[in-house]
Amino acid sequence: MVPVSTPPPPTPTFLKLSYPADRVLLITMCREKDLNCLNTTAQWELDSVWKWLDDEPNLSVAIITGSGSAFCAGADLKEWDNSMAADADPKNRMGNAPTFKPLSRRLGKKPIIAAVNGLAMGGGTEYVVNCDLVVAADTAYFGLPEVKRGISPIGGALPRLIRTIGLQRASEFALTGRNITAQEALQWGLVNKVVPAEEVVNEAVRFATMIAVNSPDSIICTRAGLRQGWETAAVERAVDITLEREFAGLQKGENILEGLKAFTEKRAPRWKGSRL
């Protein structure tokens, strides 16, 4: 297994980090008694891990999952309630904090796979919507119950849901606040695969390994092209942006030369960590 070249950030209260395969990071949310809900401290930890992931050349893909019966129950509503006190600075209210929903609005460079082991509510579902691949346990379910609590799923899921599942299904999901099963999410195109609960992380690792054996530069460039197509309205402009940025960097790196030489020599490539 290729070791990481830089130490990970400290994650003392919410996250457990491990490395189940070469170039693969497994992130486990560990507020089990609170259904892995997200307080401000948890979100700062996640924010630091995403930045480290993108800068660490020996990691290509991450998996995020939850401990216990939940993937993530969303924002810590008790903390949010306390932040709404009349004398509180509005800028510090949970919905306005700079780290609010650090995955659901993450652009980033490297792909993230959601291994949804149980319920994903509110911000937990918003996390799932913005992940690159999603594996769900057959017992998992998803919901955006914010309308039932007087708030709104404003962490990035709404426009992304429209692009993934269409306006009518997104409207049904977000405006009613009803839960959907893993099978329904699979039919809608929100989930890649549904497996028994005990297999969800293993299946996510299998997908991650299939990604991580490829050129680290190509993974970043290809994901950027996909994301530009998702985030940018004009298709040709999305192509141009990727050509001008990530593909230009890819062509200056060592991995493109290694990949072509390995093909010619009929051997497995020996990739270098990405510097894109």
Query: What pLDDT is recorded for position 43?
Result: 86
Clarify whether 184 is annotated catalytic: no
Query: What pLDDT is recorded for position 53?
Result: 97
Q: What is the pLDDT of residues 88-110, one digit of tens each?
A: 555 555 554 554 557 988 999 99
- Number of Cβ atoms within 10 Å of the Cβ of 84: 12
Query: What pLDDT is recorded for position 51?
Result: 94
Query: What pLDDT is recorded for position 44?
Result: 87
Say how far apart CA 73 and CA 50 lie, in whole Å.
Answer: 20
- Give pLDDT < 70 ranges for the chain: 1-2, 77-101
Q: How far is CA 24 from CA 2, 83, 119, 206, in A?
A: 10, 36, 24, 10
How would you class 26 by CB atoms within 10 Å of its CB: exposed for 0-12, middle for 13-18, buried for 19 or more? Answer: buried
Q: Which of 168, 256, 270 is nearest to 217 (CA)?
A: 256
Q: Which position among 45, 56, 146, 246 bears the catalytic label? A: 146
Q: Which position among 74, 108, 122, 123 bears the catalytic label? A: 123
Q: At what angle do helices 167-176 and 157-165 cross, to 10 degrees?
A: 140
Query: What pLDDT is recorded for position 41?
Result: 83
Clarify whether 126 is annotated catalytic: yes
Residues 26, 203, 136, 70, CA torsion sign: negative
- List the domain boundaries for the chain: 15-212, 216-265
Q: Which of 146, 173, 79, 157 is nearest to 114 (CA)?
A: 157
Clarify whether 172 is annotated catalytic: no
Query: What pLDDT is recorded for position 75?
Result: 78
Query: What pLDDT is recorded for position 234?
Result: 87
Q: Which position among 75, 114, 185, 224 bears the catalytic label? A: 75
Q: Which position among 62, 74, 118, 126 bears the catalytic label? A: 126
Clarify whether 146 is annotated catalytic: yes
Q: Could you name the CATH architecture of 15-212? A: Alpha-Beta Complex (3.90)
Q: Which of 1, 8, 41 is nearest to 24 (CA)?
A: 1
Q: What single DSSP character describes residue 168?
A: H
